[in-house]
Amino acid sequence: MQILDKIKLPEDIKNLSLKELELLANDLRNVITKYTLANGGHLASNLGVVDLTCALNYVFDFPKDKLIFDVGHQCYAYKILTGRLKEFNTLRQKDGINGFPKREESQYDTVNSGHASTALSIACGMARGDIDGNIICLIGDGAMTGGLFFEALNDVLTLNKKVIFIINDNNMSISGNVGFINEYLKIVRKYGNEFTFLDIEMLNNIDGHNISDLIGKLKYAKNSKKTLVLHVVTKKGKGFTDAELNPSKYHSVGKVNAKPTYCQVFGKVMANLADKNQDIFAITAAMTDGTGLSEFAQKYPQRLIDVGIAEGHAVTMSAGLALAGKKPYVAIYSTFLQRAYDNILHDVCLNKLPVVFCIDRAGFVGGDGETHQGLYDVAYLGATPNMSIFAPKDGDELEDILTWSQSFDSPLAIRYPKNEISRNYNIHTPIEYGKWERIVESDSQIVLVSNGETLANVCESAEILKSQGIDVDVINARFIRPYDEELLDTLKGKTIFFFEEYIMQNSLYAQALDKFNKEQDDSTQIYGINIPNVSYCVATRNQLLKEVGLDTDGIVNFVKRKLN
């Protein structure tokens, strides 16, 4: 790392020769590969943009000029070149370097961003605000498949301001790109067509790994007086052979799970159900692999619909499938599904259509930080009419609810976490709409209520409490909406604790408080821990659970404190 060690801030790059810039790019790839493989993170997407990042820092003057990342996970080389080399070994660790742009981390990070298709909209606003400097959008990994990009493109044409937007064309999102835009870029790559119909100058087919050519084109863009587009062709995973050959696998890397994950169970069950039910369709938004649907896609390519980074369209299109008599399963991460809230409410729920939302990455999501936490789906889905919400406690219960859902005739959300299945239960009561399940039953006056993966910590806490002479009952509140009012009525006069891995709005704890307050029931004591509605930075799921008191020690201490 002889060259990289000399770079403290971006201005140090400007005196390097072309040969030194190429050596710098190699150093950057080595550092990114080393620490991303060690800590987890987005590998292939960052390796592909290293040469372009070097050229950008050579030509432009950051932070006076503003670089807006879209999607934010392309920012690793930029972070290293803007003074964060020494801390980069803490990538995606608690109190360490965030895997996405973060304003609180550095003056060089323009905006916190982790979702796709937002950069050009941000740029339009900044341009109208008369930012003193160039505004550059680095748009990649399928972000142009999102509708927000085209809304902003429509607006940017009305600006009497200059915006530079760079298309990092690596032909990939998380999975391979799909749809018209992907096909259009293929034509651009082959024939060099321009966006002349939009009256925007476009520099086509720039080699994203030729630093000399990149510098020349970027200098031209810097000196131009008008908005223009640079179409840069890159190789996702560049410089790391395994990532080049399998960019989808190396899009995001992490530890190998010793136990099955909910995502893996979901994918296997969906493929099996589709064997017998020809009406089943699986819909996703640029994350076929990430949601576990690869096997489904291989077996039933005509019934796997990847719409690109277009969550709103995925949901509304699924409403159309349901109207046509099909059974759509929409598999989207919790943090991304919130981008389609109006579509869920207006197109699915108001029409009471039997669309099943399979919500991966629900709850705490560790290393990705605040932009990717799945803490809000219960709150926003609980505010829609006709929506039911279910949280399976293990893989068997996930299979049970997916099987049961085939004949359910209203909207249903099934939420499950990213992590592996930590506990397999001996008790599996058949699914009955709106009904909970007793896991531990005795004559105790103390009841612990939870669901999903959080239930594992509650069960362990119950065992610890029992060893300390405190008997408790445990209930799996697998239906969050509707809740099991009949069972809850049997608990009147007891002390009930709710432990839930989502914010309090529309939680079971909130619903129970409302119920007993309306009934003016003073005999029942109700306590609960939900996730406080603040942003959560990078940490492991267990660290975050400990922070909010949903680890076993926190649960045990909370129960004992309230009982005393």
Mean pLDDT is lowest, of 158-167, 263-272, 526-535, for: 158-167
- Encoded tokens for 471: 């008997």
In the annotation, is 236 catalytic?
Answer: yes
The residue range of the domain holding 463 is 437-563
| pLDDT given for residue 538 in this prediction | 86
- Output DSSP code: residue 257: P
What is the pTM for the complete model shown? 0.90
Residue whose C-alpha is closest to residue 535's, from 332, 393, 409, 376 = 376
Give the whole-number percent of the chain exceeding pLDDT 90: 79
Quote the pLDDT of residue 198: 65
Q: Which of 127-141, 185-199, 379-393, 474-488 has the lowest mean pLDDT?
A: 185-199
Judge if 208 and 303 occupy the same domain.
Answer: no
pLDDT value, residue 239:
83
At 367 the pLDDT is: 83
- Rounded alpha-carbon distances, angstroms, from residue 214 to 21, 219, 393, 437, 556: 12, 8, 51, 61, 59
- Contact (CB, 8 A) for 380 and 374: no
End of a domain among 219, 245, 271?
245
Contact (CB, 8 A) for 232 and 168: yes
Amino acid sitting at position 292: G
Q: Does one domain contain both 342 and 220?
A: no
Query: CA 71 to CA 113: how far, in whole Å?
Result: 7
pLDDT, residue 241, reads: 76
pLDDT digits (tens, 9 = 90+) for 414-467: 999 998 999 999 999 999 999 999 999 999 999 999 999 999 999 999 999 999
Same domain for 404 and 287 = yes
Are 375 and 464 part of one and the same domain?
Answer: no
Q: Is the pLDDT of residue 240 over 90?
A: no
Note whether 153 and 282 are same-domain residues: no
- Among the listed residues 37, 103, 34, the one whose alpha carbon sits nearest the alpha carbon of residue 75: 103
Indicate whether 268 pLDDT > 60.
Answer: yes
| Sign, CA torsion 454/459/460/465 | positive
Question: Residue 470 class from Cβ within 10 Å (0-12 exposed, 13-18 middle, 19+ buried)?
Answer: middle
Annotated catalytic residue: which of 22, 105, 311, 397? 311
Whether residue 113 is contained in a domain is answered as yes
Same structural domain, 501 and 550: yes
Q: How confident is the model at residue 71 (pLDDT cuts 50, 70, 90)?
A: confident
Q: Are both 107 and 203 inside the same structural domain?
A: yes
What is the model's pLDDT at position 280? 98
For 162, how many CA atoms within 13 A lie in the half-sphere containing its CB?
A: 14
pLDDT, tens digit, 9 for 90 and up, residues 35-68: 999 998 899 989 999 999 999 999 999 999 999 9
Domain count within the chain: 3
Peptide bond into 482 cis (omega under 30): yes
pLDDT, average across residues 113-133: 91
Predicted confidence (pLDDT) per residue in 184-196, tens digit: 666 655 557 555 5
104 noted as active-site residue: no
Beta-carbon-side half-sphere exposure of residue 219 (alpha carbons within 13 Å): 8
Boundary (domain end) residue, out of 359, 382, 415: 415
* pLDDT band, very low/low/confident/very high, at 253 (cuts 50, 70, 90): confident
Q: Which of 84, 236, 327, 361 is catalytic?
A: 236
Q: Are 290 and 357 in contact (CB under 8 A)?
A: no
Kindly report, residue by residue over 128-146, the tens digit of the pLDDT.
998 889 999 999 877 888 8
Same domain membership, residue 375 and residue 267: yes
Residue identified by tokens 């408080």 is 513
The pLDDT-based confidence of 249 (bands split at 50, 70, 90) is confident
- Give catalytic status of residue 339 as yes or no: yes
**Same-domain pairing of 458 and 523:** yes
**Would you state the structure tokens that stand for residue 77, as one six-digit string?**
């080389």
Residue with tokens 């589709």: 274
Q: Indicate if 147 and 292 belong to the same structural domain.
A: no
Amino acid at site 512: A
Residues 199 and 290 in one domain: no
Query: Residue 158 burial (CB < 10 Å; 0-12/13-18/19+)?
Result: exposed
Query: In this structure, is residue 428 part of a structural domain?
Result: no
Distance CA 7, CA 13 (A): 7
Both 232 and 318 in one domain: the answer is no
Could you tell me where the DSSP H helices lie in 259-343? 262-276, 294-299, 311-323, 334-337, 341-343
Q: Does the residue 255 lie in any domain?
A: no
Mean pLDDT (whole number) for 352-378: 94
For the cut 80, the answer to whether the pLDDT of residue 314 exceeds it is yes
Q: DSSP letters of 201-254?
A: EEEEEEETT-HHHHHHHHHHHHH-SS-EEEEEE--TTTT-HHHHH-TTTTSSB-
DSSP 300: -
Q: Which two tokens stand for residue 301?
A: 């390519």
Please indicate, yes or no, if residue 169 is contained in any of the structural domains: yes
The whole-chain average pLDDT of the chain stands at 92
Pick 177 or 313 by higher pLDDT: 313
Inside any domain, residue 253: no
pLDDT value at position 236? 87
Q: What was the pLDDT predicted at 256?
A: 61
Domain annotation covers residue 420: no
Residue 482 inside a domain? The answer is yes
| CATH number of residue 479's parent domain | 3.40.50.920
421 found inside a domain: no
Determine which one of 92, 303, 339, 541 is catalytic: 339
pLDDT at 178: 59
Please report, rounded to a whole number, the percentage of residues in the chain having pLDDT higher than 70.
94
CATH number at residue 267: 3.40.50.970
User: Which is nearest to 425 in space by CA: 467, 478, 466?
Assistant: 478
